[in-house]
Structure 1
Amino acid sequence: MKKLYQQFNDLNIDTDIQPVDVSDFEKEKVKRAVMKGRKKNYFPKSISVAAAFLVASSITLGLAFPTFAAKLPIVGNVFELFNDDEKYVFEKYDLQSTDIGVTKESNGISVTVTNAVYDGENIAIAYTIESEKDLGERPVLDGKLNTVEFQDLYKDNGYDQNYITKKVSDHEYAGLFVYQLIKGPKPDEINVTWDGDNILNLANVENTFPGDWSFQLTLNILESKTQDFFQTGIHSEANGVDVKLTKMTETPVSTTLYFSEIVDERLATLEDSEWRGVLIDYIVTDNLGNDYNIIHYENTGHSTDFKQDHVSYPRLTTSLFHEDATSVTITPIVNIYKTKNGDGSLELVKAPYPIESMQVDLK
């Protein structure tokens, strides 16, 4: 979808929508964000519905389990294994990560935490899975994250979870576990207990492998700088959609863009009688022609169940911008959904369309 969206500014969009096959997981992701407007205090954290994950990391170099450290199944930088994924934003992570190399084994499945990074915006953990069992095409480690310094302030909301996973061979898998710190404390050091209790196959969420993989981790925060755009008027507005860039935070490994979104669903959809939901995607490019992968935190999305002045606060995490780039272009893409056949499933009303791009000077 991202590559398709990149062409929208140059194409005449045909509004005749043709169905495209997507996974049940992707359908649930869209439905989760749009339907947040229909259920108050809806914070889905189960992996089978929200398909997102907890993360944390960093301890001393694997001296606690030296016999397991030698069993590391994948040699090299785990982050780089995912450089062909649309959510890959980890080019600099290997330069800033803490080496760990600790393995825990349970029920014939070995999980190795290899590296981790905490930059105040996200906590990312790289890990591998090894087993003689067939764990499916997209197995991930699921479990609970407890951090003393957060004082339960991220317990119910204020964070989001994401993942990337890959099958490396018949018995080897690699994963990245990303915990997005949306709203809450960002201490200089965090002490984490990550209790993995299940290997879950995202390609078939009913295919699970219980076990006990517990890691105690410590991470130090990386430096960062934040630029406030709230008063500068960087925004895009059209057809009842108003998007503003509020701030940008840069760390040695990532760039995070914060937005506010207000949507008049009736005006945007030209529909006044049926339920409608709106999600806004984004394309990020620079003046050199580079396009940037993103991890998109969607916040609440928009629906006709919200009050007209409802504000959503999404954010994008991407890699560092190219050192020679002087400006960045951010293009919002509007997706409009309706309920289908009265069963609660969703379908696009018309083709996603771009609105005016936002320009951000970097120099």
Structure 2
Amino acid sequence: MKKLYKQFNNLNIETDLEPMEVSDLEKERVKKNLMKGKKKRHISRNFSVAAALLVASSITFSFAFPTIAAKLPIMGDIFELFNNDEEYVFEKHNTYSTDIGLSEESNGINVTVTDAVYDGENITVAYTIKSEKDLGDRPILEGKLVADEFEDKYEHSGFSENYIIEKISEKEYVVVYNYELIKGPKPDEVHITWEGDTILDLNNVSNAFLGDWSFQFTLNALESETQKFTGGSIITEEEGIEILVTKMTETPISTTLYFSEAVDIRLIAKEDEELRVVLIEYTVSDNLGNKYNTIHYRDIGHSTDFPKTRRSYPRLTTTNFHEEATSLTITPIVNIYKKKDNDTLLELVKEPYTIEPIHMPLNK
């Protein structure tokens, strides 16, 4: 590290520099990084900290010389803009992401894919949307994401999509798109073709703009490590409910917990005739008191329309756990719904309630 700083000090940098224009995205990145300066960063238990130290050095250099930083292409910066979002699980994505840098303009709307990363569990794409038009509050690029290696396994189902969107100026938005591979192949390399045909406001789906945006890029899977739990060793039970953790997969950027849920909905809802729906949410914390954001794939959930014995197989994606943590506490929260006024909408039957937490050791 001392050698690295010595190299910085020996750089021949002209001190008589004129101010340069900085993009709204870069301004927002600088502001967010300064605001989060006091936050504690977690380092993975299973992977080297060398890469994190190198990134820290790079950030220090960028802020020490902001004029130089303004000249550099935006790489991995979008992920950092969402660190206050409740679904922010992208703490290390900027370290491992691939620089894409592809732009397409259609119908007066420019979409630029800046970065993407594939860890064998998820494909995560960061991109910007710019337009003189009013695109609404939460616009996304909607279309089909496919890979040659997937064949047709994900064509109609077996995947889940999540978006985090932020409007950073009147004309520019940043988006993190997370494509979860649920039921299908997880190859070591994917040749992605992403065909977008609509800019859609998620807050107002009638606000849509047709166009043609096409991107192609290749991603290699990051290394991963999977631990399977057999014989129902990681479990919680309550009358009418059984929840097991079946396996855990860790990569350099994420941890995915897989569950098996069995719910006797007629028993816990005390209803045989009227429709009832049960969805189980989860909170995750460790023995050090750290709480973890999650992206929750809920699978089919539970309904009185289903056979009594039908299971649901949800999963949680989160960050790597703190390197000093030795156990997790996973708390299920049970939500029971019914139809609202004979409509398609659902409303809670009663207040959500927790059941006995799952206590899960973390192997060192």
TM-score range, shorter chain: 0.7 to 0.9
Answer yes or no: is 1:280 the counterpart of 2:259: no
Measured against aligned partners, the alpha-carbon deviations of 1:197-217 in whole angstroms (never above 9, x if no partner) come to 111011111001111110011
Match of residue 154 from structure 1? 154
Structure 2 equivalent of residue 351 of structure 1 = 351
In structure 2, what is the equivalent of residue 265 of structure 1?
A: 265
Q: Report if aligned partners of 1:144, 1:195 keep a CA contact under 8 Å in 2.
A: yes
Q: Distance in 2 between matches of 1:277 and 1:71?
A: 53
Q: Distance in 1 between matches of 2:81 and 2:297?
A: 23
Equivalence for 1:84: 84
| Equivalent-residue separation in structure 2 for 1:73 and 1:306 (angstroms) | 52
* Other-structure match for 1:195: 195
Cα separation, 2, equivalents of 1:346 and 1:171: 36
Match of 1:143 in 2: 143
Query: Structure 1, residues 48-86: CA drift from partner, whole Å, max 9, x if none?
Result: xxxxxxxxxxxxxxxxxxxxxx99997761001111111
1:119 aligns with 2:119: yes
Mean alpha-carbon deviation: is it higher for 231-240 or for 284-293? 231-240
Supply the distance in 2 between the matched residues of 1:255 and 1:211 (Cα, whole angstroms). 36
Question: CA–CA distance in 2 between the matches of 1:71 and 1:192?
Answer: 29
Question: Which of 1 and 2 has higher RCO (CA within 8 Å, sep 6+)?
Answer: 1
Q: For residues 146 and 274 of structure 1, what CA distance do their matches in structure 2 show?
A: 40
- Mapped partners of 1:313, 1:140: distance in 2: 28
Q: How many residues align?
A: 294
CA RMSD of aligned residues (A): 1.7
Unaligned runs of 5+ residues in structure 1 are 1-69
Q: Work out whether residues 193 and 217 of structure 1, in 8 Å CA contact, stay in contact via their aligned partners in 2.
A: yes
Q: Distance in 1 between matches of 2:127 and 2:96?
A: 16
Contact 1:299 1:314 in 2 (8 A): yes
Identity of aligned residues (%): 63
SS at match of 2:347: strand
Q: Which amino acid aligns with 1:90?
A: F
Letter in 2 for 1:251: T
Give the structure with higher Rg (CA): 2
Quote the Cα distance in structure 2 between the aligned partners of 1:145 and 1:325.
Answer: 36
Alignment of 1:1-363 (within 5 A): 77-363=77-363
Provide the rounded CA distance (Å) in 2 between the counterparts of 1:87 and 1:165. Answer: 11
**In structure 2, distance between residues paired with 1:214 and 1:71:** 27
Instruction: Tell me the secondary structure at the aligned position of residue 82 of structure 1.
Output: coil
Contact 2:142/2:200 (8 A) holds in 1:
yes
Per-residue deviation, 1:272: 2.7
Amino acid at match of 1:156: H
Q: Rate the CA distance shift 1:340–1:192 in 2: closer, same or farther, 3 A.
A: same
CA distance in 2, matches of 1:179, 1:76: 17
For structure 2, the residue ranges without an aligned partner over 5 or more in a row are 1-69
Q: Kindly provide the amino acid, as one letter, of the partner of residue 136 in structure 2.
A: G
Cα 1:95–1:211 change in 2 (3 A) is same
CA shift digits 1:277-335 (9 cap, x unpaired): 10000000011111111110000000111111110000000011011111111011000
Matches of 1:143 and 1:74, distance apart in 2: 24
| Contact 1:265-1:304 within 8 A present in 2 as well | yes
Does structure 1 conserve the Cα–Cα contact (< 8 Å) formed by 2:262 and 2:312? yes
Cα deviations across residues 264-284 of structure 1 (Å, max 9, x unaligned)? 011111223321110000000
The Cα of 1:162 is off from its aligned counterpart by 1.1
2:158 partner amino acid:
G
Hey, what does 2:64 align to over in structure 1? Answer: none
Query: After superposition, what is the alpha-carbon deviation per residue over 1:107-155, rounded to whole angstroms, capped at 9, x for unaligned?
Result: 2111110110100100000001111111111111111112111011111
Once residues 310 and 330 of structure 2 are traced to their aligned partners in structure 1, the CA distance between those partners, rounded to angstroms, is: 22
1:209-255 C-alpha deviation (Å, 9 max, x unpaired): 11111001100000000000132521111131111100000000000
Look up the SS of the partner of 2:94 in the other structure. helix
Q: Distance in 2 between matches of 1:347 and 1:73?
A: 47
1:15-36: CA deviations, max 9, x gaps?
xxxxxxxxxxxxxxxxxxxxxx
